Amino acid sequence: MKQNSIVVSCLQHKTNPNFEAKQLKIDPSTVRDWIRKYQAEGEVGLRISRG
């Protein structure tokens, strides 16, 4: 899952949410949401769609 690898890289300080969001052409808050969900619920949090 691409989200998972992005989140892990951000948490390991190998990249940052702003850079990754720009690469994916999405809002940086989306990447920060992924990080928040991953920290709260692990990989499962990234699979749950709450929209």
pLDDT tens sequence across 16-44 = 999 999 999 999 999 999 999 999 999 99
pTM metric for this prediction: 0.88
Q: What distance in Å separates the CA atoms of residue 14 and residue 33, rounded to the nearest whole number?
A: 18
The residues near 2 (Cβ < 8 Å, ≥ 6 apart) are none
Question: What gap in Å lies between CA 21 and CA 18, rounded to an integer?
Answer: 5
- As a whole number, the mean pLDDT across the chain is 92
Distance between CA 33 and CA 46 in Å, rounded?
9
At 29 the three-state DSSP class reads helix
Is residue 31 within 8 A of residue 17, CB to CB? The reply is yes
15's tokens = 């990249």
